[in-house]
């Protein structure tokens, strides 16, 4: 069995945890591949070509949620499932804690794990290749001292123009990320929906709105100030006044390995320490 490692680029604790994972996997006949720069940090891995086909059964991310997003990008291209090992803090997307490495490796070796399929988003800007994300598409101000005006059209119907620091379109999986800090709802990641949330809006109406997954949202810069489009934290484009980004459901869902399926309520309670709330 082969696994493809995606490692946090800087955190040495993640590299140490990955080395522990590889050492435990080897006696079970599991080969772990990594990009050359990661292979140098993790003894026991086999270097794989940066641009070659991904020969693996599962992509394993060792890090936090940012590392998981990178692993999902890698896995989507190869249509592979992803498993996250938590070397971060909150780690809402990860499933394996450091104390359960042996149990996770045994479950992988045995095969037959469950999968959770997660809706993705596609962002389309004229003149750019479409960008796919797991968490969110954010249109935000490009000049820090000023708000930006962003008009939103849902399908063919104009909804509202926000004067705000930004506007977030999130998936249910991404509802625990940026949109949550902006006041958006937590949504069960097994659902499919588009969650629209304004960031620090200067509007009387500022409630988040949830739309069905087959709708498209067109966000246009409606002001004389530019805006930046980010997909899962990566900049896609700088929009000039009058330019737009169209956001819609991605064609391919992300596949998450579920070694120990967990109720969404349990995940929320554990990650946000609600035991005594």
Are 30 and 109 within 8 A, CB to CB? Answer: yes
Residue 188 annotated among the catalytic residues of the structure? no
Q: Please state, in angstroms and rounded to a whole number, the distance separating the CA atoms of residues 16 and 236.
A: 33
Burial class (CB in 10 A: 0-12, 13-18, 19+), 157: exposed
The DSSP bridge partners found for residue 227 are 141, 239
Secondary element (H or E) of residue 190:
none
Catalytic-role residue among 38, 65, 136, 165 = 65
Q: Which of 203, 204, 219 is nearest to 163 (CA)?
A: 203
Handedness of CA 41, 44, 8, 136 (dihedral sign): positive
Known catalytic residues are: 65
């Amino acid at each position: 069995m082969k696994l493809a490692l995606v490692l946090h680029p800087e955190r040495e604790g993640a590299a140490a945890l990955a080395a522990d994972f590889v050492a435990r996997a080897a006696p079970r006949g599991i080969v772990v591949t990594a990009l050359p720069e990661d292979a140098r940090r993790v003894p026991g891995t086999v270097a794989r070509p940066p641009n070659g086909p991904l020969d693996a059964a599962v992509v394993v991310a060792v890090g936090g949620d940012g590392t998981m997003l990178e692993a999902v990008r890698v896995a989507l291209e190869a249509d592979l499932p992803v498993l996250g090992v938590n070397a971060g803090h909150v780690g809402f997307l990860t499933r394996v804690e450091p104390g359960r490495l042996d149990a996770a490796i045994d479950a992988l070796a045995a095969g037959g794990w469950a999968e959770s399929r997660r809706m993705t988003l596609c962002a389309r800007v004229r003149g750019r290749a479409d960008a796919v994300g797991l968490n969110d598409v954010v249109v935000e101000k490009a000049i820090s001292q000023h708000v930006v005006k962003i008009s939103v059209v849902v399908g063919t119907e104009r909804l509202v123009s926000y004067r705000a620091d930004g506007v977030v379109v999130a998936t249910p999986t991404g509802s625990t990320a940026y949109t949550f800090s902006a006041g958006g709802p937590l949504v069960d990641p097994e659902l499919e929906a588009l969650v629209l949330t304004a960031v620090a809006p200067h509007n009387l109406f500022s409630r988040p709105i949830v739309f069905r997954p087959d709708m498209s949202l067109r966000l246009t810069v409606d002001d004389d100030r530019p805006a930046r489009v980010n997909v899962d934290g990566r900049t896609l484009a700088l929009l000039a006044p009058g330019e737009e980004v169209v956001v819609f459901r991605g064609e391919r869902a992300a596949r998450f390995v579920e070694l120990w399926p967990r109720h969404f309520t349990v995940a929320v309670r554990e990650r946000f320490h609600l035991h005594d709330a």
